[in-house]
Chains A and B, each alone.
Chain A
């Protein structure tokens, strides 16, 4: 089985099958580039991901492993009608996978999924963030995402007035 070494920003190495790695658009491109530039067809590619730390990379690979038999979605799938995988339903495994994560990890996972071009993972993590916003008040959203109001002058009041007709209902 052909393998690829994927190295995180903090130096942890993960040995994964190329078949699995190729489910990430970014890793697929890197492997193909390596193949083209390498004289030795048996050489093992080594890919350094400088923006993703080990804990997050491990989660991405774990998700890929679980979904290795799913069809690969193109990056622009469902863009036209605005529906991604997220709206089409998540598996119980996905829900269990995301459940123990705090929002900080989820956000890092989103960035990683985006960087590595793993659309399915990006969809479910975005959906999770959406669920943390929907139905919450402004203060609750601020608390959940550790946000501080930084409006100047009467900006906030003005926005509130603009929204009033909708919020009242």
Chain B
């Protein structure tokens, strides 16, 4: 009698919510970022599951001695998922990555620096709300990720979070308290991998994310 009641109750629960984590995780893993976020929004339980999946994955990443294969995997798929809250910003519809050299080039070619700065600031605010200073953008799985200058990257995660908050309030370029100039040029997967490999294990996110 008790079993029958239990079974009836189980039938009412949607099947996807009956899937244990070891099955749900690989499914989430197959999803593109947008779809994972949509899944997160469907109900409280799946929201928790998707969050847990990311947390678990982050813990996996913190394991030492990541192999080149794992690094490739991170840069190919998971980095885009993990970074979404903190640093990464999706590419605009017409991707127009820009860097400090763009600014220099345009300043050299025509127009006054002031005019250009104004246009530059607008563009930063419109397209890159998280922009806090000179940095370069590279693409990981369709999402732009900013490379950070070394001193900036050394900031604690707390300071980094504060930086992101500040950037969100559209502070002008160069105003970030941790910014100390210099750039780490990461421009493709292979340099990203080398960079991550040099960093070792648990600092990956503090470096790549803000």
Contacts and interface: CB of A to CB of B under 8 A. Distances in A.
Query: What is the interface of chain B mostly: helix, strand, loop, or mixed?
Result: helix
Contact of A145 (B23, B42, B73): B42
Given A129-B16, A147-B14, A147-B46, A141 B39 contact: yes
Contact of B31 (A110, A130, A162): A130
A147 B44 CA distance: 10
Given A81-B73, A159-B47, A166-B84, A134 B42 contact: no
B69 A146 contact: no
B interface, how many residues as a size bin?
35 or more
A166 B42 contact: no
A150 B44 contact: yes
A163 B41 contact: yes
B198 interface: no
A156 B26 CA distance: 24
A160 B41 CA distance: 7
Interface string A39-59: 000000000000000000000
B60 to A, nearest CB: 11
A165 B40 CA distance: 15
B114 interface: no
Nearest to A107: B15
B63 interface: no
Interface in A104-145: 104, 107-108, 110-111, 114, 122, 126-127, 129-130, 133-138, 141-142, 145
A110 B20 CA distance: 10
A149 B42 contact: yes
B63 to A, nearest CB: 12
A114 B23 contact: yes
A167 interface: yes
A138 B34 CA distance: 10
B32 interface: yes
B35 A135 contact: yes
Contacts of A126: 23, 26-27, 30
Interface of A: 80-82, 84, 86-87, 103-104, 107-108, 110-111, 114, 122, 126-127, 129-130, 133-138, 141-142, 145-152, 155-156, 159-160, 162-163, 165-167, 169
